[in-house]
Amino acid sequence: MRTVRTFEASIANPQQVGDDLDQLGWAASKLWNVSRYYAQEQWDDTGEIPDDGELKAELKGHERYTDLHSQSSQRVLEELAEAFTGWFAKRRDGDSRARPPGYRKRGDSHPRSTVTFKAAGFKHDAQFTRVRLSKGRNLKEHRSDFVLCEYELRPDVDLTEWDIQQVRAVYTYEEWRLQFICRKSIDPDPPGDGVAGVDLGISNIAALSFGSESILFPGNALKEDEYYFGKQKAKCDDSRSNERLRLDRKRTERRTHFLHTLSKQIVSECVERGVGTIVVGDLEGIRDNENGESRNWGSHGNLDLHGWAFDRFTSILDYKAETEGIDVLIESERDTSKTCSACGTKDGNQRVERGLYVCEECDTVANADVNGAENIRQKVTPSPSQDRSNGWLAQPSVHLFDRSEGRFAPREQVVDCKP
């Protein structure tokens, strides 16, 4: 089985390579606009949009095409053709508001577009953590002219374990970053045939149930970051100021690290217990009420919900689990917060407090999030045992995010540090 991953890295020598990357980014925008103009002409004349093959054949001799490495130029034209295909699909499905891809221009200037380097357009140097990116003939000052980017990745990523397929230079938050699109073949055996349930939430980011024990992962660190960076950004007069962009970038980096660390910890706990399937509650619609309108969770709750990237977390969890041979399933959360996981009684009034669930039928007392996680687990467990001690439902282990170590650890081992 082949798996593909994208790893994003910061550029360690931006002053040395910034101008060259700017040139490439502007060149990509100009080539997009040239091909967009050609596509419009063909549309007006024939009523059809040229595909990427025709665009490549027609524009191969254009001076804008040779501003970039040939494979980078090809990718720009492929992206335009894909954008038109997506537009046609929306029109075919009756979306009258769909608009065709536009020109990349801001007044008299061009934005910096993403530049993709395929196999022949880059050379990776793992020993010195740098990558050489090719320029087009028009932008070279001499035959061997190229852009040599030094980069920094997350400490848990080792590119030598992967086959790098492409490198993308992406301009975001007023800086260039690199994305490595990698592939490798994996065929791991599952750690076992156990099943774990995961209930996602706001106060507790995740509750993990194994059927005989449970773990809570509070979201204190994530919420503190949202409040802290929100207040700091409010002090900025200009929404596009360097300080505002720096804060946005820092918040995104910390949130990404948190989500990767959380998913890695959950997978590690599952491997240790021989779990072969993780069942995650589907939170689709959590932001809306029964009428499809935005649900009001209160001022703090709304802020927490806005900052909680449920879909992104599930995606990260899925690929980290895949490398260990663990399947990730998405199951509806319907009634999981109302149902007793011990006896199956469903009563919306049994959740007596936010974090407490008490069943009047069988006297089970449980942490409400753990009870939900266990109900999610039981959705795919063939024969959940009904005769077992349920003290673990009320007394889960609590793992907090340790800022000083950048990892999750049992509560008693964590030293809390503010942002």
Nearest Cα to 206, choosing from 294, 125, 279? 279
Q: Is the pLDDT of residue 370 over 90?
A: yes
pLDDT score recorded for residue 201 = 85
- DSSP E strand boundaries for 224-362: 275-282, 327-332, 356-358
Q: Is the pLDDT of residue 129 over 60?
A: yes
pLDDT score recorded for residue 163 = 96
In order, the DSSP letters of 21-53 are HHHHHHHHHHHHHHHHHHHHHHHHHHS----HH
Q: What pTM did the predictor assign?
A: 0.72
The pLDDT tens digits for 380-409 are 885 555 545 677 898 899 999 988 888 898
- 14-18, 48-52, 182-186: range with highest mean pLDDT: 14-18
Q: Is the pLDDT of residue 287 over 50?
A: no
Q: Does domain 194-218+251-410 have CATH number 1.20.1740.10?
A: no
Is residue 288 very low, low, confident or very high in pLDDT (cuts 50, 70, 90)?
very low
Q: Which of 42-46, 84-88, 285-289 has the lowest mean pLDDT?
A: 285-289
- DSSP E strand boundaries for 160-234: 163-172, 175-185, 194-200, 204-209, 214-218
pLDDT score recorded for residue 81 = 95
More confident residue, 348 or 387: 348
pLDDT score recorded for residue 383 = 56
**Mean pLDDT score, 117-121:** 96
pLDDT score recorded for residue 382 = 59
- Tell me how far apart the alpha carbons of residues 40 and 329 are, in angstroms, rounded to a whole number: 44
pLDDT score recorded for residue 202 = 80
Alpha-carbon distances of 197 from 270, 278, 315, rounded to whole Å: 10, 6, 16
Six token digits for residue 269: 């706990």
Six token digits for residue 277: 């399937």
pLDDT score recorded for residue 419 = 56
Strand partners, 280: 198, 330
Sheet strands side by side (includes 275-282): 327-332, 275-282, 194-200, 204-209, 214-218, 397-402, 407-410
The pLDDT tens digits for 211-259 are 989 999 998 888 888 888 888 888 887 777 888 888 888 888 888 889 9
pLDDT score recorded for residue 41 = 94
410 touches 399 (CB < 8 A): yes
Residues near 113 by beta carbon (within 8 Å), at least 6 away in sequence = 25, 26, 28, 29, 32, 76, 104, 171
More confident residue, 40 or 305: 40
pLDDT score recorded for residue 352 = 66
pLDDT score recorded for residue 250 = 87
pLDDT score recorded for residue 306 = 44
pLDDT score recorded for residue 348 = 67
Query: To the nearest whole percent, how much of the chain has pLDDT over 90?
Result: 53
**Mean pLDDT score, 322-329:** 93
- Go through the chain and tell me how many residues it has: 419
pLDDT score recorded for residue 155 = 85
pLDDT score recorded for residue 297 = 45
Q: Is the pLDDT of residue 308 over 70?
A: no
Residues of CATH 3.30.420.140 domain(s) within the chain? 194-218+251-410
Residues near 114 by beta carbon (within 8 Å), at least 6 away in sequence = 25, 28, 168, 169, 170, 171
pLDDT score recorded for residue 375 = 93
Q: Is the pLDDT of residue 162 over 60?
A: yes
Q: Is the pLDDT of residue 4 over 80?
A: yes
Q: What mean pLDDT, rounded, does the chain reach?
A: 87
